[in-house]
Amino acid sequence: MGTALRGKIALVTGAGRGIGRATAERLAAEGAVVAVNYARDEAAAGKTVEAIVARGGRAFPVRAELGVPAGVDELFAAFDRELGAEAPLDILVNNAGISMHAPIEQVTPDMYDRGFAVNTRAAFFVTQRALPRIPDGGRIVIVTSGVTRIAFPEGIAYAMTKGALETFTLTLAKHLGPRGITVNNVAPGIVDTDTNAAWLRGNAEAWRASAARAALGRVGAPEDVADVVAFLASGDARWVTGTTVDATGGSHL
């Protein structure tokens, strides 16, 4: 166990699996108490908590479906039940999101609205609710995507949701600078997660093609991204704010 985040409280949205789970485990490994948010899969969130506790860390599950009207209220009600309404929130990681693979011709209004509700609106209002609890010198990290840099016509609406978050990051960093709160985003490339499993795992051609996109020559792992998030959440990143850290392995350089 590390000590870089000892005494800190962190909330990671969408932490039941993938990048969210790896991030929760990494923050806990540095000493943070981690609230593990999940929408429906209680078993997956439980495995995240169990993995953290097994390594000597502290974590607890927080059920709340983000992207629906009551989601933010449910999130903080569950957080308060565990730690109390006066508990600070030192580190907020907005990771929850859904993918949308469709070119503009196939995007429906419902698909578009759902994507922005989960990927963009939820992060905005979770952050808004969290701000009074984040102490001066706190950390906000948002997981966006490499598709804000790399043209992705087969997922145009998805890319737009992530592009909006980059603007949010830039503007919020300026707004919170006087309080010493840093706001940054991490942009992953193709990562071996359950979200990508349907087209990536077990498909040797897709795996090779995905690996070839990266200058480093492989598909990313959730831990590759989680380590970058942990850096931005630490004191070492005290002079970094309002920026995007590209964690694509050098995709499409």
Residues serving a catalytic function are: 158
What distance in Å separates the CA atoms of residue 182 and residue 192, rounded to the nearest whole number? 28
Maximum pairwise Cα distance, the chain: 52
The pair of structure tokens assigned to 147 is 């598709």
- Tokens 């309404």, located at residue: 85
CA-nearest of 32, 48, 17, 30 to 89 is 32
CA-nearest of 11, 248, 22, 221 to 127 is 11
The pair of structure tokens assigned to 11 is 């909330």
CB atoms closer than 10 angstroms to residue 64: 22
The H or E element spanning position 58 is: strand 58-63
What distance in Å separates the CA atoms of residue 56 and residue 18, rounded to the nearest whole number? 21
What distance in Å separates the CA atoms of residue 189 and residue 117, rounded to the nearest whole number? 22
Residue 25 and residue 226 in contact, taking contact as beta carbons nearer than 8 Å: yes
From the CA atom positions of the chain, what is the Rg in Å? 17
